[in-house]
Chain A
Amino acid sequence: MLFLIIKRILLGLITLFIVSLITFVGTEILPGDACTTYLERQAFGEQLEACYRRLGLNVPAYERYVSWAVNAIQGDFGYSLSGEMPIKEVLGPRIKNSLVLASAAIFIGIPIALILGIVTALWRDKLPDVAISTVTIFAMTIPEFISATLLILIIAIWLEWLPGIVIVPTDVSFLELLPNIILPVIAIAMIMTAHMARMVRSSVIQVMASEYVQMAILKGVPYWKMVFKHVLPNALLPAINVVALTIAWLLGGVVVTEVVFNYPGLGRLVIESISNRDLPTVQALAIILASIYVSINLLADLMTLMLNPRLKTLQIRK
């Protein structure tokens, strides 16, 4: 068991190493570098040399990779170009804001998804299922940028209930941020919740058709006891991995939504730094997003391992 956990963690670290290599090599291959971008037309002769020296670009690429990697592990991603300030400081509040947005979507989305999925499965082909399923399929097919725009149009512009665009400084306090995040959270949560609800539904339906559920019925187990003891634990186990994938996939949704709402989070930073050719920041963002992705999947794997008696005992026996 322990061996398996260590193995999974090691695999995750290897993935991160490869991602860092790819982004590094990618930024190397692209024509131009930080200094030519920064100096623009003055990028020649003495000035360019000086810039190279200042940013440490005059040493061979592998040396730069090693020193960058060593610093990155310690949380130091070097200097951003546009602001000439440490990337660490640029990232800090952005990460916080994005985390607020994503976790709000997750904490609202997962319970709703579970309830909707279970309800639709238990009342399969009856009115609650037909009604909810229609809505979820509809919600699944609309991309975030459309639902976000529609939300702004209806709630912010027509009804004037909430602000449509977030115009707050990056390092605003949580309470001040709150009214601003409601619409982005809805936009993100909608598609994710719909997706998960469908997964939970099919998983529950599959378990409901299993022989052990039929056996529980024939044993005289009352309906709701059967649902909670015999159906849900077995149905939600495979759903854990799907939820993890959906959350990881939500990162992409966050980028789009943040741009639409002008929300000061990681997603907008990604777009900004790409368009500014701020390569050190892009590099740092790639690593951070990849680590989030890897750790969510790792967490899901470990949870499945802990909860599934079959996997658990198999590992112990070996």
Chain B
Amino acid sequence: MTEIIQKVKNLSIGFKSKKGEEILILRNISTNIKKGETVGIVGESGSGKSTLALAMMGYVKHGLYTIGGECEFNSSNLLKMKNRDLEKIRGRKIAMIPQNAGQALTPNLKIGYQIDEALQLHSDLKEEEREQKISELLNKVRLPSPETIALRYPHELSGGQQQRVAVAMALAGTPDLLLLDEPTTGLDVTTQAHVLELLNFIAKDTGTSMVYVSHDLGAIAQVSDRIIVMYSGEIVLEGPSRDILKKPIHPYTYGLLKSIPKLSLAGLPQSMPGSQPQPGTMHRGCSFFERCDFSEEKCKSNSPQLEYLEELNTSVRCFNHKSLMNDSQVNQTVNKIKTSLQDKEILNISEVSISYAKQKLLDQVLNRISDDNPTVKDININIKKGETIALVGESGSGKSTILKSIAGLLRTKGGIIKFDQKRNLSSDLKERDPNDLRIIQLIFQNPDESLNPNHTVEEIIAQPLKLYFGLKGEELKKNIIELLQKVRLGEFYMSRYPRQLSGGEKQRVAVARAFAAKPDIILCDEVTSALDVSVQAAVLNLLQQLKEDFGTTYIFVSHDLAVVRAISDRVAVLYQGRLCEVGPSKDVYQFPSHPYTEVLLGAVLEPDPDIKPKLVAEDIVEEKPPQKGCSFQGRCSRILGDICKNEIPPWQITNSGNSIRCHIPLKELQKNQIN
């Protein structure tokens, strides 16, 4: 049997509430991390996964305290150790790679110094040797020209580069155990795939044990040998990763896997009802009871114990795991989306370009925008009534910028946005009349920031009703209740404040507010990316249902290609503010496709250890679109030569009506993509 490197025994961590009650964040956790293995810890926000990872370094956040149990490393309990002794273990024996490297690197210190600091603390190298080592480390994490990177400040690097620096810093102390707290969340899909590939390489190369914490089963599937599934502070399932992903024997994991949209399946995944109980609100019985499809009477009053199943080498916390075992191959069924497409075009975007360049004085006086290389250029999309069109691309692709212009928050530099063939919306917000404002509504990414924390749900939804329809008194109230019911929230939510709602509930309120204006078009800006996976499917299903009821048109912006696949009729792929490919979603997801679409599709992480991402292009970040030629020339792996650099590629149309903007003939494109 392999050596155990970290032993967590009956660990409970919690805090004292204002009333003096002890509230548990982690409940009686026991697990072992073996030498050389990568363990994935997966769970929703609030499941206690990060608290567990930090405890493995002997770190408990301000306000929390250890109630019982221990984290044993080298046969000493880290949670009882003095700070001085911990300093010798942290960074040297156990190192952390943080979630958000951009915020975890000290802003006033150069990259080189921050790595050097770790080397000074944890090695006996002399100064020149350390300098050598810094270059080596930066090389190992595949950063270009290490010498110049070392002299930069954190803010001068891109998100992916910052994350690599954080990896290099963690490796500096040659630790035996690496803890990774959501290390790829917040990175672009392609960057994420590259960083994961790097981590896999490092795990093999150095033989370090890793604990990988994430909410994303797709990422966990790529790296881990073993998976621990956490739910409201408890381990509910623990076992070899393949078994857990293919044959989950706990209802939560089962439901979770069913609710994740997949590239291979069009249509909306089934959603899991409800949301995770808040810490402190747990009663007797199984914490998953309320959301479980397999629950029985005894689950309500008795909490199941974690049970070790010898034959599967798996631990599970469920009374009913045996019945799940027989039929737990995740047969994902999807609700096919009904298209309510009509022939009438509702929004015509033609030749639109948008610029963020600062206006010179002369231009301000003449009230014009002059910028020969604008952020967004040549956008031509005609949107039909009842259609869901998705704009996809990495950060900086201009997808949100286009939404802002349609909403009127940003002036266009050129081109026309026309509503219903007649009303011109390319002007500023100030020049739109109230009805123009009403017909287009926005739902934002983060409901925490888009809902006024000082307004009740009633006030939030009442605002558009009062503003656009002048409703008052009983009628206003009746309308609010109707809208709340439409988004599956009860009447009693009216008096609540946003902070009293869960993430999913908040987003439902935001959806209700958008629909209150009875708009023709709703702009959805990454509406599910701030939500937990189990809640995401429910919100997507809700949006689809409302669309069928009201005949609304959606313009849907997302970086998640699987989500886009699930909900949209048509997809437009953007790179550097230029369109690459536009077509019906079933065709965009099939070849031939634009080389950039190919890169995006290759980088998608599926929650399946057998589907590995294909890394086609480098994940370099370009700051500005090229002056001439194809917008993707800088990263394209199939670049033809001067023609791509000098001439804007033509639109080519496939048999199924998919438009691809590339110099490579369609037949050629398809050839290499079929594999």
Contacts and interface: CB of A to CB of B under 8 A. Distances in A.
A309 B125 CA distance: 29
Nearest to B59: A218
A223 B83 contact: yes
Interface string B63-102: 0000000000000000000011011111110011011100
Contacts of A214: 59, 98, 104
Contact of B98 (A211, A233, A309, A310): A211
Contact of B104 (A211, A221, A223, A308): A211
A220 B108 contact: no
A220 B103 contact: no
A83 interface: no
The dominant DSSP class at the A interface is: helix
A216 B118 CA distance: 9
A219 interface: yes
**A221, A233, A310, most chain B CB atoms within 10 A:** A221
Given A234-B107, A310-B153, A219 B62 contact: no
Contacts of A213: 106
B155 interface: yes
Contact of B100 (A211, A229, A234): A211
A221 B121 contact: yes
Interface string A229-242: 11001100100000
Interface in A198-219: 209-219
A295 B565 CA distance: 59
Contacts of B89: 220
Given A220-B121, A223-B83, A313-B153, A215 B104 contact: yes
Contacts of A215: 96, 98, 104-106
Contacts of B62: 209
A182 B98 CA distance: 52
A230 B87 contact: no
A169 interface: no
B611 interface: no
B420 interface: no
Contacts of A217: 59, 90
A221 B57 CA distance: 14
A219 B59 CA distance: 11
B153 A309 contact: yes
B91 A218 contact: yes
Given A217-B90, A219-B90, A220-B87, A212 B105 contact: yes
A212 B103 contact: yes
Nearest to B173: A220
A219 B107 contact: no
**A209, A210, A218, A222, most chain B CB atoms within 10 A:** A218
Given A212-B103, A215-B105, A221 B117 contact: yes
B96 A218 contact: yes
B76 to A, nearest CB: 16
B92 A212 contact: no
Interface residues of A, number: 24
Given A218-B59, A218-B90, A220-B90, A229 B104 contact: no
Contacts of A212: 103-107
B523 interface: no
B106 A230 contact: yes
B153 A220 contact: no
Interface string A288-318: 0000000000000000000011100100000
A313 B110 CA distance: 12
Contacts of A209: 62
A173 to B, nearest CB: 44
Contact of A309 (B87, B99, B107, B122): B107
Please classify how large the interface on chain B is, using the bins under 10, 10 to 19, 20 to 34, 35 or more.
20 to 34
B330 interface: no
A229 B156 CA distance: 20
A190 to B, nearest CB: 32
A311 to B, nearest CB: 10
Contacts of A219: 90-91, 95-96, 117-118, 121, 169
Contact of A218 (B57, B109, B117): B57
Contacts of B117: 219, 221, 229
A237 B122 CA distance: 30
Contacts of B155: 309-310, 313
A204 B156 CA distance: 24
A234 B106 contact: yes
Contacts of B173: 220
A26 B86 CA distance: 68
B87 A221 contact: yes
Nearest to A210: B103
Given A215-B96, A313-B156, A220 B88 contact: yes
A167 to B, nearest CB: 50
B109 A230 contact: yes
Contacts of B106: 212-213, 215-216, 229-230, 234
A222 B57 CA distance: 15
A84 B628 CA distance: 75
Contacts of B57: 218
Contacts of A221: 87, 91, 117, 121
A233 B62 CA distance: 22
A202 to B, nearest CB: 16
A210 B100 CA distance: 11
Given A219-B91, A220-B92, A222-B87, A310 B107 contact: yes
Contacts of A233: 108
Contacts of B122: 220
A239 to B, nearest CB: 14
Contacts of B107: 212, 234, 309-310
Interface string A68-103: 000000000000000000000000000000000000
Contacts of B108: 233-234, 237, 308-309
A229 B118 CA distance: 13
What are the 5 A-B residue pairs with the smallest beta carbon separation, nearest first? A220-B91, A220-B90, A215-B104, A211-B103, A218-B96
Interface of B: 54, 57, 59, 62, 83-84, 86-92, 95-96, 98-100, 103-109, 117-118, 121-122, 153, 155-156, 169, 173
14 contacts: A212-B104, A212-B106, A215-B98, A218-B98, A219-B95, A220-B88, A220-B89, A220-B92, A220-B121, A220-B122, A220-B173, A221-B87, A234-B106, A234-B107
Given A218-B91, A220-B92, A230-B106, 20 more contacts: A211-B99, A211-B103, A212-B103, A212-B104, A213-B106, A214-B59, A215-B105, A217-B90, A219-B95, A220-B121, A222-B84, A222-B87, A222-B121, A229-B109, A229-B117, A233-B108, A309-B107, A309-B153, A309-B155, A313-B153
